[in-house]
Amino acid sequence: MKSFKNKRVLITGGASGIGKIMVRLFLERGAEVIIWDIDQPRINETVRAFMHLGKVTGYKVDVSDHDQIKETVIKTKSEDGTIDVLINNAGIVAGRYFHDLIYDDITKTMQINAIAPMLITHEFIKDMMLKNAGHICNIASASALLSNPKMSVYASSKWSLVGWSDSLRIEMQKLKKDIGVTTIMPYYINTGMFDGVKSLIPILKPEPAALAIVKSIEKNKTMVTLPGYIYRVTRLSQALLPVRFFDWFAGSVLGIYKTMDKFTGRKEN
């Protein structure tokens, strides 16, 4: 999608982190922006901060709740109209060993990270197909390429998201629909979500990461890793090395398997 002028962009998890930055970036490009988020005070703050740039509205919604998704879709379409660009950005992480997780950690992570993007997209994609225009961007994770301790369910949710997202892209091509699908797989981003993470590979800064996502949609890119070399290094190493040597390379040389050792996560107010 080369121009966002007068397009309606919906961003889930748009009241904080890279979601909030993308709200501003899209408004600066002439789009109307709709925020879905679970945090009403942050929604209000984001709307107030950026309303001078253009039309921005927000809806409180828990995307792990199927009924709330349906209700908010009805409100959004009634009050704002159909969506041109959908960015499935909302996500959570439970950074503990699998045996330490409780049932709710597992189900909530899968519901928000994997199932919600499918359900939300299902609500909006038929309008895009009728118009034969639109773009869907799914924010996954580099953990969809590389397993990691204390990220088992998070990685599982993102592997699922990548598989669905790229299948959807191919379906749109097969149906000859002019609907782009971009799958983003970023390394750790310094937004607070992964506070405590220590990494030899540089942790991404939020502003450049958000800008890279927006530009990826502009250029209709398909599978994008941030940084770009992550995909090549990971896939080539996995293809060439036996599992035990890859574990040594990822764990001992790159230190990836230790990155979550001191994870604390975002401190909620």
Q: Which domain holds residue 52?
A: 8-258
268 part of a folded domain: no
Task: Tell me if 2 is assigned to some domain.
Answer: no
pLDDT score for 96? 95
pLDDT, one tens digit for every residue, the chain (269 residues): 789 999 999 999 999 999 999 999 999 999 999 999 999 999 999 999 999 999 999 999 999 999 999 999 999 999 999 999 999 999 999 999 999 999 999 999 999 999 999 999 999 999 999 999 999 999 999 999 999 999 999 999 999 999 999 999 999 999 999 999 999 999 999 998 999 999 999 999 999 999 999 999 999 999 999 999 998 889 999 999 999 999 999 999 999 999 999 999 876 54
Contact 101, 150 (CB under 8 A): no
Instruction: Provide the 10 A C-beta neighbour count for residue 36.
Output: 30
Residue 117 lies in a domain: yes
Residues classed as catalytic? 154
Return the CATH number at 193: 3.40.50.720
Residue 266 placed within a domain: no
215 lies in a domain?
A: yes
Residue 46 lies in a domain: yes
Specify the pLDDT at position 266. 79
Number of domains in the chain: 1
Q: Specify if 120 maps to a domain.
A: yes
What's the per-residue H, E or C state across the chain? CCCCCCCEEEEECCCCHHHHHHHHHHHHCCCEEEEEECCHHHHHHHHHHHHHHCCEEEEECCCCCHHHHHHHHHHHHHHCCCCCEEEECCCCCCCCCHHHCCHHHHHHHHHHHHHHHHHHHHHHHHHHHHHCCEEEEEECCHHHCCCCCCCHHHHHHHHHHHHHHHHHHHHHHHCCCCEEEEEEEECCECCCCCCCCCCCCCCECHHHHHHHHHHHHHCCCCEEEECCHHHHHHHHHHHHCCHHHHHHHHHHHCCHHHCCCCCCCCCCC
3 within some domain: no
Residue 269: its pLDDT value, please?
46
Sign of CA dihedral 68, 70, 73, 74: negative
